Amino acid sequence: MKTRVFFIIWSLLLLGCSKSEVDPALNSIVYFNGDILTMNGDSPNYAEALVVQEGRIAFVGNKEEALNIHPKADPYDLKGSTLMPGFIDGHAHFANFSIQSIGAQILPPPDAGATDIPTLIKILKEWNTPENRSLTGWIFGMGFDDSVLKEKRFPTKHDLDLVSTEFPILIIHISGHFAVVNSKGLEDLGIDASTEDPEGGIIRRENGNEPNGVLEELAAIPYMLKVLNPSSKEAADAFFESGQNMALSYGYTTAQEGRAMQNHEMLAEAAENNQLKLDVVSYIDYLFVDKYMDSKWNSRSYDNHYRIGGMKLTLDGSPQGRTAWRTIPYLLPPDGAEKGYKGYPAIPNDSVVSAIYEKGLRNNWQTLTHVNGDAAVDQMIRTLGPLTRKYGIADRRNVLIHGQYIREDQLDSIKGLDVIASLFPLHTFYWGDWHKEIIGDSLGNKISPTRTALNKGLKLTIHTDAPVALPNLMRMVGISVERKSRSGQVIGPGERLTPYEALQAITLWSAYQHFEEDSKGTLEEGKLADMVILDKNPVKVEPEEIENIQVLQTIKEGEIVFKRE
């Protein structure tokens, strides 16, 4: 009763005051004279002015009214630039951004210069300094791409031995699903001819059973985590700052760690030490949920900008690396594979997959499922489907991640399971030409079927999967609109998004995916002042210009956390 009386009295006091009298004008700023794109509604809507106060949006609307209500707000002249909500990637691996940003730059053009194996070797040699090696004790880099390398093959230990036989080397494929190590690296990891392939992984061989240095899937990923572990606090700080700064430079205000394992502890420590300048939400790999889910971090609310959002399950591998699990064979099998090769499952036994899903449903965890090949999607549907009927449709917002080779009938099925589709249209640029070689022209045009998903009524987000690709969200928006490959071919013109739809997919729709639509995703009064300032408006320029738009500022809860010089 006392609470109700207090509320009534307080409301009357507010009504008796003008808006300017109750406005403390502390830490407030008014933005104007640019395109203020609110992302509120099904088509572009603009405001003349926006006021930020105490980390939240206090006003959106007419400039004269903004200045009247908030006369003491500091003015910010946008000078024709575009202000819009901060970016939320539908799926990425934030904890690994630093590997891309601080390691050897072995991506192909346009991101770096690794066009052939001799150039790759040269880049690694140049990176091989005592200072760089001190970060982990290894020579490392991420992003080589056999589909672009002139030789059209993976490097092997013999190639990396040309860089060094004294120091161990590990390089990661652009997919994040393969690694290559040199002879010294194999020795340090204890991998030899007697080492058996793990379930869900392959150690590629030569001369009988001798490892050739190429490691696939679960023969690679655990070693990546072991090797790329900073060797000191100074190294850990350098790693973290490098990765975070890269994210901020591309307009991220919320980032996802889409497969957290032990690196959850690094992110939690960064949060405890107040190092995070943006929000990070982690999805714990199913093998680690018993260890990490029962903690304060498993929450819908952030604690010092960090939280656990749910569980991650991986059912197959990489389509461009040809480990995605398909129902029909690849036209071009990978090295060492026989004709009729279809990729392979990460978890062959359906009963194991069902048990993992049931744990998620029983605990009401949001679950993200990595599936690329249609056979993996089939496994997801036949295991998750009966359990969804058992536990009922609820507001879990489970997500299918990637779905490169998903079929139309499977889109219908996941809609029936109330699953969000987070697709990866950057594939059309980076590997569109390659997909047509390995699965054929007709199927290659159907990768990342964003328009079909929307037309079928699915909830959609798009993602970079960074550091698989650079976390360049403007490139992703541009590619989603153009659907052009490296060679300039249009890959599935019928799957194009409009610029506004692509922006919705990394703002409001992605906020919804993360249960954060009430505080993020649009510029509305009361929401967090998570914003970006762009040098051009993505919905007004020509489609081919979108990917070159630059982030001028990234603003997190009213604070400038990145400013382009």
User: Is it the case that residue 4 has pLDDT exceeding 80?
Assistant: no
206 and 104 in a common domain: yes
User: Is it the case that residue 22 has pLDDT exceeding 60?
Assistant: no
Residue 53 lies in a domain: yes
The model's confidence at residue 284, banded by pLDDT at 50, 70 and 90, is very high
376, 325 contact by CB (below 8 A): yes
Q: Which of 227, 249, 278 is the last residue of a domain?
A: 227
183 and 128 in a common domain: yes
Tokens (6 digits) for 167: 């120091």
| CATH code, 135 | 3.10.310.70
Average pLDDT over residues 275-303: 98
293, 365 contact by CB (below 8 A): yes
Residue 256 lies in a domain: no
How far apart, in whole angstroms, are the C-alpha atoms of residue 126 and residue 444? 37
191 and 119 in a common domain: yes
How far apart, in whole angstroms, are the C-alpha atoms of residue 505 and residue 508? 7
124 and 48 in a common domain: no
209 and 111 in a common domain: yes
Helices 350-362 & 374-391 angle (0-180, nearest 10): 40
User: Is it the case that residue 17 has pLDDT exceeding 70?
Assistant: no
Torsion sign (Cα): 160, 164, 168, 171: negative
Burial class of residue 564 in the structure, from the number of CB atoms within 10 Å of its CB (0-12 exposed, 13-18 middle, 19+ buried): exposed
Residue 558 lies in a domain: no
Name residues whose C-beta falls within 8 Å of residue 530's C-beta, 6 or more positions apart in sequence. 85, 86, 253, 254, 520, 555, 556, 557
217 and 142 in a common domain: yes
Torsion sign (Cα): 466, 517, 451, 368: positive
Residue 540 lies in a domain: no
Note the pLDDT tens digit of each residue in 43-54: 999 999 999 999
Note the pLDDT tens digit of each residue in 347-371: 999 999 999 999 999 999 999 999 9
Residue 438 lies in a domain: no
pLDDT at 14: 33
What percentage of residues in the chain have a pLDDT greater than 90? 89
Note the pLDDT tens digit of each residue in 512-559: 999 999 999 999 999 999 999 999 999 999 999 999 999 999 999 999
User: Is it the case that residue 290 has pLDDT exceeding 60?
Assistant: yes
pLDDT at 26: 55
pLDDT at 11: 37
Strand order in the sheet with 87-88: 87-88, 252-260, 279-285, 306-314, 366-371, 399-402, 420-423, 460-462
pLDDT, mean over the chain: 93
User: Is it the case that residue 20 has pLDDT exceeding 80?
Assistant: no
Note the pLDDT tens digit of each residue in 135-153: 999 999 999 999 899 999 9
Q: Which of 167, 199, 227 is the last residue of a domain?
A: 227
Structural domains of the chain, count: 2
Q: Which of 194, 227, 260 is the last residue of a domain?
A: 227
101 and 76 in a common domain: no
223 and 112 in a common domain: yes
458, 414 contact by CB (below 8 A): yes
- The helix/strand/coil state of 10 is helix
Residue 217 lies in a domain: yes
Note the pLDDT tens digit of each residue in 46-85: 999 999 999 999 999 999 999 999 999 999 999 999 999 9
Continuous segment of H or E residues that includes residue 135: none
Q: Which domain holds residue 67?
A: 2-80
208 and 125 in a common domain: yes
| CATH code, 46 | 2.30.40
Cis preceding-peptide flag for 348 (omega within 30 of 0): no
70 and 25 in a common domain: yes
- Which residue is associated with the tokens 């307009």? 251
Identify the residue with better confidence: 14 or 94.
94
The model's confidence at residue 225, banded by pLDDT at 50, 70 and 90, is confident
Q: Are strands 201-206 and 28-37 parallel, antiparallel or unpaired?
A: unpaired
What's this model's pTM, rounded to 2 decimal places? Answer: 0.89
- The letter for the amino acid at 99 is I
104 and 72 in a common domain: no
Residue 360 lies in a domain: no
pLDDT at 553: 98
221 and 100 in a common domain: yes
Residue 333 lies in a domain: no
Note the pLDDT tens digit of each residue in 410-454: 999 999 999 999 999 999 999 999 999 999 999 999 999 999 999
